[in-house]
A and B are shown apart, each in its own frame.
Chain A
Amino acid sequence: QVQLQQWGAGLLRPSETLSLTCAVYGASFSAYSWSWIRQPPGKGLEWIGEVNHRGSTDYNPSLKSRVTISEDTSKNQFSLKLSSVTAADTAVYYCVRVSGFLEWLEYYYYLDVWGKGTTVTVSS
């Protein structure tokens, strides 16, 4: 059974850097892409970015200037760094596995395994 275990600092001050790590258990790390998604209190889901099986990354354009996602294949882990945080970055952050299937020469993707989430609060 695939499990994602995530951790990181839960309380930050404005302008600090958010740092979260997610460890993958029970799955072939290099066979998938891995994503970070967040959810502000009482609001919907927002995609932050992802790292694929080749180690390249894609980011939400609205966050791209502040986000870095990296992977450590030797530890089956991937990480999120979000710089210069403000109160607007207060949210539950989820690490997520990206899976896909091929149909008619086109790949379609879905988010099939989620971590439990880490609550990050930005407050002075």
Chain B
Amino acid sequence: SSELTQDPAVSVALGQTVRITCQGDSLRSYYANWYRQRPGQAPLLVMYGKNRRPSGIPDRFSGSSSGNTASLTITGAQAEDEADYYCNFRDSSAKIWVFGAGTKLTVL
């Protein structure tokens, strides 16, 4: 199955650590990518591959994977991290992109 499952909402206290997860059988074969989307803005790539951060993304963002679950961890969450986060991957066999439904992160 190419489906990805994300928790609809997660909250974290300012300065604390939060893990956002993405589950799917295909993640045993593919890396998940992660995107942050603030209200009214286009998505922004924050993590790809095996814990690769694009230029400009703070090092408080990290990625990991275990079995069928990929995780995006924010260590020391900031107010500006409040956003929707989407995971995805490209299924090279089926030649399609698959997105999770997104997780709304609230920073308290």
| Complexed CA–CA distance, A116 and B40 (Å) | 10
- Assuming the contacts A45-B102, A108-B31, A110-B33, asked whether A103 and B49 have C-beta atoms less than 8 A apart, the reply is yes
| Residues of chain A within 8 A of B90, CB atoms compared | 98, 108-110
**A112: B residues at CB distance < 8 A:** 45, 48, 54
Known A-B contacts A108-B30, A109-B90, A111-B88; the reply to A47 vs B49 at CB < 8 A is no
A107–B43 alpha-carbon span in the complex (Å): 23
Q: Which of B50, B54, B90, B95 has the most CB of A within 10 A?
A: B90
By a CB distance below 8 angstroms, the chain B residues around A44 are 86, 99-102
Are the C-beta atoms of B42 and A94 separated by less than 8 Å?
Answer: yes
Is B61 positioned at the interface, with any CB of A under 8 Å from its CB?
A: no
* A21 CB to nearest chain B CB (Å): 17
Counting chain B residues whose Cβ lies within 8 A of the other chain, the interface size class is: 20 to 34
| Contact between chains at A108 and B49 (CB < 8 Å) | yes
- The main secondary structure of chain A at its interface with chain B is strand
B92 within 8 A of partner (CB)? yes
**Which B residues are CB-close (under 8 A) to A117?**
42
Please list the residues of chain B having a beta carbon within 8 angstroms of any beta carbon in chain A. 30-31, 33, 35, 42-45, 48-50, 52, 54, 86, 88-90, 92, 95-102
Q: Which 6 pairs between the two chains have the least Cβ-Cβ distance? A: A47-B97, A110-B48, A109-B90, A114-B42, A58-B95, A110-B33
Q: Given A37-B97, A47-B99, 11 more contacts at CB 8 Å? A: A45-B99, A47-B97, A60-B96, A103-B49, A106-B92, A108-B30, A108-B89, A110-B45, A110-B48, A112-B45, A114-B43
